Amino acid sequence: MAGTVFFSVSMSLDGYIAPASADELMGRQWMQLQQWVFRQKHFRENLQLGTGGEEGRDNDLVRATFERTGASVMGRRMFDAGEAMWPEEPPFHTPVFVVTHAPREPWVRAGGTTFFFVTDGIESAVEQARAAAGARDVRIAGGADTIVQALNAGLVDEFHLAVSPVLFGTGVRLFDRIDAARIGVEQLAAEASPLTTHLRYRVRVGEPAR
């Protein structure tokens, strides 16, 4: 049976998940946004950031996200930024389907990650990811435009926001161009930790947002 399609992202209090320019990734605001996850032991190990790191509820949530994911989908903008920053062994360890207009041969990396470049849209990318994931889940890794495309197409079952106490003021807003007339949400859980607040929602297609 096919698994769940979901996304899990860190978001600022004013609704942004990334700076306007990829050149600002790893900048002060972005690091504040991601501060909670960079401290976690599982995240540090997965990105080969060294030993140590915190263990506890936040770390458990990070681990669970990676363990449930059997394949990922991302946009070309996210891939282009990550290609320059990911280690030789990227943190996915699964197939990754990149939604793009530019054809490219699959890119095989160490640790079980292979990037496949999908030129016929988000629906095709998710369909291929479902097939590759088997009984595990499909994660829409980002960026915001790819997440919204998947939401508007009715492809997302649930999502997790880690809302961090930081204001961007400008940048890449998560829910721009969402079809709010037909995409509704149901809150499943809210859980605070010292550096972020975890919010989980189920998506209800064809219902107005609550």
SS (HEC) of the chain = CCCCEEEEEEEECCCEEECCCHHHCCCHHHHHHCHHHHCEHHHHHHCCCCCCCECCHHHHHHHHHHHHEEEEEEEHHHHHHHHHHCCCCCCCCCEEEEECCCCCCCEECHHHCEEEEECCCHHHHHHHHHHHHCCCEEEEEECHHHHHHHHHCCCCCEEEEEEECCCCCCCEECCCCCCCCCEEEEEEEEEECCCCEEEEEEEEECCCCC
Residue spans of the chain under pLDDT 50: 1, 209-210
Tell me which CATH code domain 5-205 carries: 3.40.430.10
| pLDDT tens by residue, 66-124 | 999 999 999 999 999 889 888 889 999 999 999 999 999 999 999 999 999 999 999 99
Q: Greatest CA span in the chain, whole angstroms?
A: 47
Here the tokens at position 168 are 């961007």
What local confidence, expressed as pLDDT, does residue 207 receive? 60
User: Rounded distance, CA 94 to CA 70, Å?
Assistant: 6
Query: What pLDDT, on the 0 to 100 scale, is given for residue 208?
Result: 52
pLDDT of residue 85: 85
Put simply, whether the predicted model's pTM sits higher than 0.85 gets the answer yes
